[in-house]
């Protein structure tokens, strides 16, 4: 649940007057409005101003007020605009002047606005600068809200778990269809069947589904093709769903036929590395240490150079969001976070194995919120 106080503390820490927000997921997180627009949060007024044009006015009113229209200690004001940059700049400037030109954080008579630099185009930035008549100091900011969003409340966790359930149901149904076809489907057929299952559950993909067979599975982010399934090879299946805009992400690697010793050894390496890393998750642990735990184990087993990506990433309103579990992130795990643990080994021209689960951080460790048991790579075991 959004806590405006956390955001105001960050605004004040940056010695700013307010925060201008454009990212649609951040706007939804704060207001429950799912369309296009801008939000301005004033540190002095403890108000959220949602700016929309006529195309979205009714939708904004319906969604904001359905979501409550206010928090415990703030109100959401819906303000119509015709010329976005000009009208928003005029409204923010007027409110700043009416507040006495003092935001109580050391910036007397100086309008200083944080803005989401990652989501504003350069032309948009220049248009706002001109609309403010160059009387504003713009302060680029990117991850303030992303860090606040990383702590999930019970409603957010419910939506994520619901997305997981829908995704896994569609995944398992698509595997049953694979068996019914006597393994005659190609990668695109399987992905299409998965998508149909999501639609039947009033959901959609949280990202483009990855289904890769045989040597294609050595591409971490390959695209499903018309290649027939390898009836004696690997199938890497990376899938997710969406519920109430919250997303899921999970990867299962299977083998059809009789795997050789090398495949079995790599699979055991990846699975053991994943389980070892998950066992280390608890509040206070550094993300880079989680990555190192899995990476060191895979290196010890002789496959270190084939683990070519980070260990994991946060999942929520975005499919990839803070926190990022990689070797340079010295931030620490916090209770309430949701992120993936997904080591992989990719042998070009042979096969690839990735095993991915989503974890919710509790006081004493991690709760795995994906449900498919990945200890075995046999389809019969997964379908039990």
CATH of the domain at 170: 3.90.230.10
What is the domain count for the chain? 2
Look at residue 73 in the predicted model and tell me its pLDDT. 66
**pLDDT higher at 70 or 51:** 51
Residues 182 and 101 in one domain: no
What is this structure's pTM? 0.93
Q: Angle at CA 340, nearest 5°, toward 317 and 354? A: 125
Domain boundary at 149, 182, 207, which?
Answer: 149
Domain final residue, candidates 97, 117, 149: 149
Backbone torsions φ then ψ of 59, nearest 5 degrees: -60, -40
- Which uninterrupted H or E stretch holds 229? none
Q: What percent of the chain has pLDDT over 70?
A: 95
Residues 316, 247 contacting (CB under 8 angstroms): yes
Rg (CA), the chain: 24
Q: Looking at the structure, tell me whether residues 51 and 184 fall in a common domain.
A: no
Which range has the worst mean pLDDT, 89-98, 144-153, 260-269?
A: 89-98
Q: Which residues span the domain enclosing 165? A: 154-382
The answer to whether residue 107 scores a pLDDT higher than 70 is: no
- Are 110 and 189 part of one and the same domain? no
Q: How many CB atoms lie within 10 A of CB 32?
A: 19
230-256 residue pLDDT tens: 889 999 999 999 999 999 999 999 999
Q: Do 224 and 295 touch, CB atoms closer than 8 A?
A: no
CA distances from 283 to 101, 157, 260, 298, 366 (A): 41, 17, 40, 24, 9
166 and 222 co-located in one domain: yes
For residue 53, the domain's CATH number is: 3.40.350.10
Q: What angle do CA 274, 280, 286 make, to 5 degrees?
A: 105
CB count, 10 Å around CB of 100? 11
The C-alpha atoms of residue 330 and residue 286 are separated, in whole angstroms, by 6
Mark whether 120 and 187 lie in a shared domain. no
Task: Say if residue 227 is in the same domain as residue 346.
Answer: yes
Count Cβ atoms below 10 Å from residue 160 Cβ, excluding itself. 25
Residues 165 and 41 in one domain: no
Per-residue model confidence (pLDDT) at position 65? 76
Count of CB atoms situated within 10 Å of the CB of 256? 20
Residue 144 and residue 174 in one domain: no
């Amino acid at each position: 649940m959004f806590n405006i106080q956390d955001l105001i503390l960050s605004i004040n820490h940056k010695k700013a007057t307010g925060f201008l927000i454009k990212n649609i997921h951040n706007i939804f997180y704060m207001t429950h409005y799912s369309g296009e627009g801008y939000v301005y949060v004033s540190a002095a007024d403890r108000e959220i101003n949602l700016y929309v044009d006529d195309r979205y006015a009714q939708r904004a009113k319906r969604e904001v007020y359905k979501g409550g229209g206010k928090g415990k200690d703030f109100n959401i004001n819906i303000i119509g605009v015709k010329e976005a940059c000009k009208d928003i700049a005029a409204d923010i400037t007027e409110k700043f002047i009416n507040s006495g030109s003092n935001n109580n954080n050391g910036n007397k008579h100086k309008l200083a606005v944080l803005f989401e630099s990652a989501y504003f185009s350069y032309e948009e930035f220049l248009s706002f600068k001109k609309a403010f008549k160059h009387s504003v100091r713009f302060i680029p900011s990117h991850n303030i809200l992303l860090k606040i969003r990383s702590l999930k409340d019970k409603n957010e966790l419910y939506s994520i778990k619901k997305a997981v359930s829908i995704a896994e149901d569609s995944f398992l149904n698509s595997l049953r269809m694979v068996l019914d076809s006597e393994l005659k489907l190609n990668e695109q057929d399987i992905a299409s069947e998965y998508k149909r299952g999501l639609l039947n559950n009033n959901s959609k993909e949280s990202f483009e589904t990855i289904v890769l067979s045989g040597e294609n599975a050595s591409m971490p982010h390959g695209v499903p093709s018309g290649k027939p399934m390898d009836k004696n090879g690997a199938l890497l299946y990376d899938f997710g769903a969406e519920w109430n805009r919250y997303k899921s992400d999970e990867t299962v690697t299977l083998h059809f036929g009789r795997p050789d010793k090398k495949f079995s050894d790599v699979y055991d390496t990846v699975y053991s590395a994943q389980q070892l890393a998950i066992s280390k998750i608890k509040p206070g642990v550094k993300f880079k240490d989680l990555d190192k735990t899995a990476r060191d184990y895979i290196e010890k087993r002789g496959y270190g150079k084939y683990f070519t990506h980070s260990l994991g990433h946060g999942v929520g309103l975005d499919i990839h969001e803070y926190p990022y579990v990689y070797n340079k992130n010295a931030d620490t795990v916090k209770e309430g976070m949701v992120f993936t643990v997904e080591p992989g080994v990719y042998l070009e021209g042979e096969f690839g194995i990735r095993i991915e689960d989503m974890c919710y951080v509790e006081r004493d460790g991690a709760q795995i919120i994906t449900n498919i048991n990945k200890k075995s790579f046999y389809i019969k075991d997964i379908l039990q």
